[in-house]
């Protein structure tokens, strides 16, 4: 490979290569040889020499956004068992998709996943290039590049956090993220333009992922095992472990809310479905107040309760979303008959009904107060507690 265009990629005065321009540069063939020996076995990854399944690749990439491989592995297998093809996913009602996605977080991904599946089914298959894939709901530049490269062998280089970290260290890019994203993506594409990478674009993309996940890790990178250690400017300059730099994050705003666990004498619980658009859109929840920047008083909060009841404080949970932190207090109440303003679920099935993470936490708090699911003694003590408040 010829010398990299440092001025064009990084801008004047931003970086001095640690070696002369005709010395060692990161070699795609070396990375691919390393990958052939050390590639991870993942549920969605085709075995060496086998064609990739576009549906499995796309599904895994959507699931892996903001979620770890360890968390996605068992959930991917379960999701695929329930919706084995993109056509099956497209034909499923949203409630089933939401239930299967519950607990993975970032629920807009599930809505977009369902919408994209319908789009793909109508088209008769996945688009095979980045431009076509990017027209699907929820598919951005990274996912389009990943599916194009891995599923269809298109010469694209998807850049996720692992790849950004590898590039920042490899070329000793000290400019902090997120401002350095464009530079790091350009460097990844430059390395990916080498003939060996273009000949095996899917393997090259996955090799970058695996290198970042197993060797060039966020903390204590195992540089001695890296196939690019001889070309790594970060290692040569002693900066590797400190890269990539990140700009200081603004403090998350704090919000407050109250959730109501309302149960009837038959041990059934009232849930409701959130509006289709917005945070946790289309997911089930405990009825409650809006979430706002100041705490709720008891009288004010009960104006949002689903029914008149003798409400008992059950506890509270804290949940951190991407853009704010939530303190959610949980109040429990009992009525002879539940109001017809939501969905009714037996107490023992609430935690398997498809609640998002924050609501599952709130339900567990209420269940601890009300007794174990299905427990007659628990219901009796709960009722006695309510009676004392009347």
Q: Which one is catalytic: 16, 50, 61, 390?
A: 61
pLDDT at 89: 98
**Mean pLDDT of the region 366-373:** 72
Give whole-number Cα distances, 106 to 66, 316, 328, in Å: 8, 22, 18
User: Is the preceding peptide bond at 19 cis, omega within 30 degrees of 0?
Assistant: no
Residue pLDDT, tens place only, 73-103 = 999 999 999 999 999 999 999 999 999 998 8
Model confidence at 132: pLDDT above 80: yes
Higher pLDDT, 276 or 14: 276
Q: What ranges do the domains of the chain cover?
A: 6-242, 254-389
Q: What is the reported pLDDT for 366?
A: 94
Question: Taking the domain 254-389, which CATH number applies?
Answer: 3.90.79.10
pTM: 0.77
- Residue with the bigger pLDDT between 14 and 247: it is 247
**What is the pLDDT, as a whole number, of residue 106?**
80
> Which pLDDT score is estimated for 231?
96
pLDDT exceeds 70 at position 14? no
Considering the segment(s) 6-242 as one domain, its CATH architecture is Orthogonal Bundle (1.10)
Kindly state the average pLDDT of the residues 138-155.
Answer: 97
How would residue 371 be classed by pLDDT, with cut points 50, 70 and 90? low
Task: Return the bridge partners of 261, or none.
Answer: 332
Q: Which long-range contacts (CB under 8 A, 24 or more apart) does 246-254 make?
A: 246/176, 246/177, 247/176, 247/177, 247/178, 247/179, 252/320, 252/323, 252/324, 252/325, 253/293, 253/323, 253/324, 253/325, 254/293, 254/324, 254/325, 254/327
Q: Are 6 and 175 in contact (CB under 8 A)?
A: no
Supply the pLDDT for residue 13.
Answer: 41
Asked whether 234 and 260 are in contact (CB, 8 A), the reply is: no
Neighbours of 77 (CB within 10 A): 12
Asked if 61 is an active-site residue, the reply is yes
């Amino acid at each position: 490979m010829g010398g990299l265009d440092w001025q064009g990629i990084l801008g004047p005065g931003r970086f001095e290569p640690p070696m002369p321009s005709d010395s060692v540069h990161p070699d795609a063939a070396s990375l691919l040889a390393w990958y052939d020996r050390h590639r991870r076995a993942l549920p969605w990854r085709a075995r060496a020499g086998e064609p990739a399944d576009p549906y499995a690749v796309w599904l895994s990439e959507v699931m892996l956004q903001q979620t770890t491989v360890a968390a996605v592995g068992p959930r991917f297998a379960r999701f695929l068992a329930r919706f084995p093809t993109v056509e099956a996913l497209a034909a499923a009602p949203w409630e089933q998709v939401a239930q299967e996605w519950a607990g993975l977080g970032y629920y807009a991904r599930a809505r977009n996943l369902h919408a994209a599946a319908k789009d793909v089914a109508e088209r008769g298959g996945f688009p095979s290039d980045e431009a076509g894939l990017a027209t699907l709901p929820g598919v951005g530049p990274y996912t389009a590049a990943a599916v194009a490269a891995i599923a269809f062998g298109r010469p694209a280089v998807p850049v996720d956090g692992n790849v950004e970290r590898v590039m920042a260290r490899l070329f000793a890019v000290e400019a902090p993220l997120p401002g350095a994203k464009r530079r790091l993506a350009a460097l990844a594409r430059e390395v990916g333009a080498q003939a060996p990478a273009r000949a095996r674009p899917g393997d090259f993309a996955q090799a970058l992922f695996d290198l970042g996940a197993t060797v060039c890790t966020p903390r204590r990178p195992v540089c001695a095992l890296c196939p690019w250690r001889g070309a790594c400017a970060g290692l040569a300059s002693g900066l590797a472990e400190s890269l990539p730099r990140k700009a200081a994050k603004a403090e998350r705003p704090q919000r407050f809310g109250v959730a109501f666990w309302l149960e009837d004498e038959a041990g059934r619980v009232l849930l409701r479905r959130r509006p289709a658009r917005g945070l946790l859109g289309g997911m089930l929840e405990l009825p409650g107040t809006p979430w706002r920047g100041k705490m709720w008083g008891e009288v004010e909060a009960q104006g949002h309760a689903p029914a008149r009841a003798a409400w008992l404080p059950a506890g509270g949970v804290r949940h951190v979303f991407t853009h704010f932190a939530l303190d959610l207090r949980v109040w429990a109440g009992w009525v002879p008959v539940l109001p017809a303003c939501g969905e009714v679920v037996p107490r023992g099935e609430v935690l398997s009904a498809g609640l998002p993470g924050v609501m599952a936490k709130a339900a567990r708090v209420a269940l601890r107060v009300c007794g174990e699911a299905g427990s007659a003694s628990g219901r009796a003590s709960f009722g006695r507690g309510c009676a004392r408040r009347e």
